[in-house]
Amino acid sequence: MIRSIITGTGHYLPRKIIKNSDFLNHIFYDNQGVKINKSNIDIIKKFENITEILERRYLDKNLLNSDIATIAAEKALIDSNIYKEKIDYIISAHNYGDINPITFQSDFMPSISARIKNKLHIKNKKCRPYDMIFGCSGWIEGMILANQLLQSKYAKNILITSSETLSKVVDPYDKNSMIFSDGAGAVVLSAIEEKYFKNEKYGIIHYDSQCHNNDELYYLNNGPSLNPNYRKSLINIKMNGRRIYEYALTEVPNMLKNILDNTNLHLKDVKKILIHQANAKMDYAILKRLLKLYNYSSKNKFIYKNIMPMTIQKFGNSSVATIPTLLDLILHEKMPYHKINPGDVILMVSLGAGMNINGMVYRFPKKK
């Protein structure tokens, strides 16, 4: 029996920090294209109360999405101690590709995964590049695909990258633009015989993906600026926050319980929940409903902070990069008060444009 084991992780965070105070002089418009007369201090205060975001990272103009994905990938390869020519697939999760710094046009032909392979100087022609366009849930979906390839014995080592430069596709006149940020993460997933772990179940244990692509299809999409006179870019990310919130609370907790039920695990067996972070209020509400499904009290705030580590306050919503970045920070002990030990079970969950949701149970191997 093959187990799909994380053998290396890496991430990249841009150096440029954008604080909420940097938006004080912005001009915001409403959905009808009318300038919002409310003071930016009030807008930002309400934004902070809902999202908890205080700052985010923006990429320098001289770097592209594929550049930071490559940096994260290099770190993951070093961490895995696996030679790059031994990588059988590169699965790249993103949504906008490389954004042209002049035209602001989205570009992923050739694919971002192929560009990453090129920038890593991988010569192996049997290393196949795949792009995963799956909304913010693309990295977990990439892990699911990689697991299936490993289990089918079509591969031994797969590099799964996640990268996004959302600062280049936000509408500067939309207050929702303050949510988005840039970043990259990467993981090497390897096929290891179960016998090396004394036939115990480690690695990826169970997962699920659900795609609700009917009325939910355009909760997240692209559109023109809220400012009718803005012509810099036609690629502007748009979000119906209320619909996404309602959708997430309806669908995500039940999916997570079903995943755990299928592994014969209980929520009490889970050490950490690594959740995609676009809105702290929404994530807390998801966890509250999940706790309720297990008849746990949701009044103890310690439960939230202990089981669900958060990075949104400092890093914002970096889309597909959020969870692998968080995972790498914890594994390398760069997240205060959070640690993952051998034998620990974690639950990873994300939701994104489509709407697509997915989750995965992973148990970290004990030392041989």
Domain boundary assignment for the chain: 2-197, 203-363
Is the torsion defined by CA of 126, 8, 258, 151 positive or negative?
A: positive
317: left (phi over 0), alpha (psi -120 to 50) or beta: beta
Topology of domain 203-363, per CATH? Peroxisomal Thiolase; Chain A, domain 1 (3.40.47)
Tokens of 7: 């053998």
Whole-prediction pTM: 0.95
Place of tokens 């949104």: 312
* Alpha carbons 200 and 188: distance in angstroms, whole number: 21
Whole-number pLDDT of residue 302 = 53
Whole-number pLDDT of residue 150 = 97
Contact between residue 147 and residue 109 where contact means Cβ atoms under 8 Å apart: no
* Alpha carbons 186 and 12: distance in angstroms, whole number: 9
Q: In a structure prediction context, what are the per-residue pLDDT tens digits for the chain, which is 368 residues long?
A: 899 999 999 999 999 999 999 999 999 999 999 999 999 999 999 999 999 999 999 999 899 999 999 999 999 999 999 999 999 999 999 999 999 888 888 999 999 999 999 999 999 999 999 999 999 999 999 999 999 999 998 899 999 999 999 999 999 999 999 999 999 999 999 999 877 666 678 999 999 999 999 999 999 999 899 999 998 877 899 999 999 999 999 999 999 999 999 999 999 999 999 999 999 999 999 999 999 999 886 665 556 668 999 999 999 999 999 999 999 999 999 998 899 999 999 999 999 999 999 999 999 998 65
Q: Angle at CA 257, nearest 5°, toward 254 and 263? A: 145
Whole-number pLDDT of residue 298 = 63
**Alpha helix (H) ranges present in the chain?**
40-51, 65-80, 112-119, 138-151, 241-261, 280-293, 301-307, 312-315, 322-331
Whole-number pLDDT of residue 366 = 82
Sheet of strand 157-165, all strands in order from the earlier edge strand to the far edge:
2-12, 182-193, 157-165, 89-93, 128-132
* Whether the domain at 2-197 and the domain at 203-363 fall into the same CATH topology: yes
Whole-number pLDDT of residue 306 = 87
Whole-number pLDDT of residue 86 = 98
Phi then psi dihedrals of residue 72, to 5 deg: -65, -40
Determine the CATH number of domain 2-197. Answer: 3.40.47.10
Place of tokens 């995943």: 259
The Cα-based distances of 20 to 47, 94, 180, 203 in angstroms read 9, 25, 12, 39
Q: Which amino acid is at 116?
A: I
* Alpha carbons 305 and 350: distance in angstroms, whole number: 18
Whole-number pLDDT of residue 51 = 96
DSSP for 267-283, please give it: GGGEEEEEE--S-HHHH
